[in-house]
A and B are shown apart, each in its own frame.
Chain A
Amino acid sequence: MSLREGLDRLMTGTSGNLARAVAGNKKALTGLTLLLIFAFMAIFPGLLAHDNPNAEIYPRSAAPSASHLLGTTSYGQDIFSQWVFGTRESLFLAIVVGGLATVLSVLIGVTAAYRGGVVDVALSLFTDVFLVIPAFPLVVVIAAYSKNGGNSILIAVLVVTGWSYGARQLRSQALSLRNRDFLAAARVRGERQWRIIVFEILPTMTSLIVANFLGAAVYAVLAAAGLQFIGLGNPDGMSWGTMLFWAENNEALQAGSPLWAIMPGIAIAALGGAFALLNYAFDEIGNPSLRPVRRARG
């Protein structure tokens, strides 16, 4: 059974078409594979790395060797181990922030479109204001006030600054659905408003909601790493951004242990890239005119 068939079988049933589309798209497959690797690293870090990531017991600033695949930090910690154990927090933040931000976008975007009138004007204005305010300086200011507040503050700040783009997109799609016959039928049947939104409108928007989750997750990966990098993350945490912070503080690049900074950077780029690839793939699946032109088969 090939990988593609396996994926097909795995996901047939509720969304068989979607699974086939994902399996047939190179970008989607690459993104999904990367994501699965990171998920494995996040769930079973101990299987890959045997050293305690915090223990400062090895020779300092050692070059890569068989016992330390990526060398050691200038505190004498194993870089490979830190790198593997850092996956969990980074992936966790991406998924939680992506999920919560998507819920918020759905709530605000779909409500605005469905209610229309003054509610729509107010919510749209609210969305646009949040969209234009540069998120990162705001995040920095709030995080600086709540220093050492742990991950819950970080999550709250990233959700508050990360929902607006999705809300705008969802609103415009919900707007185009508003006058469809099946919604009129539901209204005539006397369905309640929240039932119409949850059971009639949301299922038709699944692909856009998924795309939004992916977009918000990319934002979360990059913004969280940026905050951790400048020292505003959870100081006790073990994440790629925090690794970068310590590497930068100890001038790892100049001091001859560049892998200390490069490896977490690559991981952040790859995780962000995995979500982004899936997102582009969803765009192509939803909008066939964007797919790469097929060459005539010879």
Chain B
Amino acid sequence: MKYVLRRLGFFVVTLWACLTINFVVPRLMPGNPAIAMMARFKGRVNGSVLHALEIAFGVNTQQSEISQYFSYLGNTFRGHFGVSLTFFPETVAQVVRSAIFWTLGLVGLTTVLAFVLGTLIGMVSGWRRGSKIDSILPPIFVITSAFPYFFVALLSLLLFSITWHWLPSGFGYDNTDTIGWTWSYISDVLVHAILPALTILVTSIGGWILTMRNNMISTLAEDYVQMAKGKGLSPLRVMLNYAGRNAILPNLTGFAMSLGFVVSGAILVEFVFSYPGLGYMLLEGVQNEDYALMQTLFLLITVAVLVAVLAVDFVTLALDPRTRSQT
């Protein structure tokens, strides 16, 4: 219970830190560039919308900094993120709502897949150390994971789409399609997701393989693994339940820690493939100096990562009895 409370506390603190960063950054910048953005809103928005934007960016407002801060927190929690300059007159909330499913589908699924596959490969190659699997797969993926995400994206775009015309070069689906639960639309979405998904998979899997393999090797030397082997348990059971279950714990912590890194890379992958997710919107925002959109997306990406980290915490709770025994 103490463990759960501590992790929830961490969630709240990090969220607060992000909100505060968002509030402070525009005010710290010399000559507050958000003023230029507000000028472009002039005459297009009014009343409470304008007021909320003024509070969020510290432009033209008579309120003290502290009361601005609390108004800003209140607005954010009620989901009032302001209006997007890029997609005017849509609100930031509407833009985000249309983008989030693409990112969850692409980045979310691929990341989980990379983690599961990487952990399995790492487990097997640590278990069969020096075997064919161990001498081929880990080195290959360690090398591919040193590649920058956007470079792998550019390269696969060049090969599979521009040179060989096997796969579409960008966007989430074909413009000529009607959106709906039809087979042609769904297959189209899947085909468009192959290249970006493979890019993220190939570049993120190496880290999981390497750490899992190394954990596995240290765990295999433990007495309880030797005993399990000595008792004559089936090798599969020793590998999964005795060595693997213990070796995966540091990998899970690593997952929580590296998630931010994977998400960062995924942003650039979305950019290269013009995939209509959060990362692409973020960079659209950058190009149009749309600070309301950028800051909301930063906040949202952080929340997504935090939720994933919390989920990993609960998995750890299920796998590691030590986290449960603390009272």
Tell me the A residues contacting B by CB distance below 8 Å: 125, 128-129, 131-138, 140-142, 144-147, 165, 218, 222-223, 225-226, 229-232, 244, 248, 253-254, 258, 261-262, 265-266, 268-269, 272-273, 276-277, 280, 289-290, 293
Contact = CB atoms under 8 A, between A and B. Distances in A.
14 contacts: A129-B17, A132-B257, A132-B306, A134-B302, A136-B260, A136-B264, A136-B268, A137-B263, A145-B25, A145-B29, A145-B33, A244-B154, A269-B146, A273-B146
Nearest to B30: A146
Given A131-B257, A253-B158, 8 more contacts: A133-B21, A135-B260, A137-B282, A229-B268, A244-B150, A269-B147, A272-B147, A272-B148
B291 interface: yes
A133 B29 contact: no
Interface of B: 10, 13-14, 17-18, 21-22, 25-26, 29, 33-34, 129-130, 142-143, 146-151, 154-155, 157-158, 162, 210, 214, 217-218, 221, 256-257, 259-261, 263-265, 267-268, 271-272, 282-283, 285-287, 289, 291, 294-295, 297-298, 301-302, 305-306, 309
B302 A268 contact: no
A152 to B, nearest CB: 13
Chain A contact surface mostly: helix
Contacts of A254: 162
A290 B217 contact: yes
Contacts of A135: 260-261, 264
Given A132-B256, A262-B158, A269-B151, A137 B29 contact: no
Contact of A138 (B21, B257, B291): B21
A65 to B, nearest CB: 21
B263 A136 contact: yes
Contacts of A261: 154, 158
A225 B10 CA distance: 32
Nearest to A254: B162
Nearest to B134: A293
A172 to B, nearest CB: 12
Given A145-B29, A146-B29, A273 B143 contact: yes
Contacts of B25: 141-142, 145
A134 B301 contact: yes
Contact of B283 (A165, A230, A258, A268): A230
B270 to A, nearest CB: 11
Contacts of A141: 22, 25, 291, 294-295, 298
B260 A226 contact: no
A280 B289 CA distance: 40
A133 B14 contact: yes
A105 B17 CA distance: 19
B21 A268 contact: no
A258 B298 contact: no
B217 A289 contact: yes
Contact of A145 (B155, B157, B221, B291): B291
B33 A133 contact: no
Contacts of B261: 134-135
A293 B213 CA distance: 13
A134 B263 contact: yes
A147 to B, nearest CB: 7
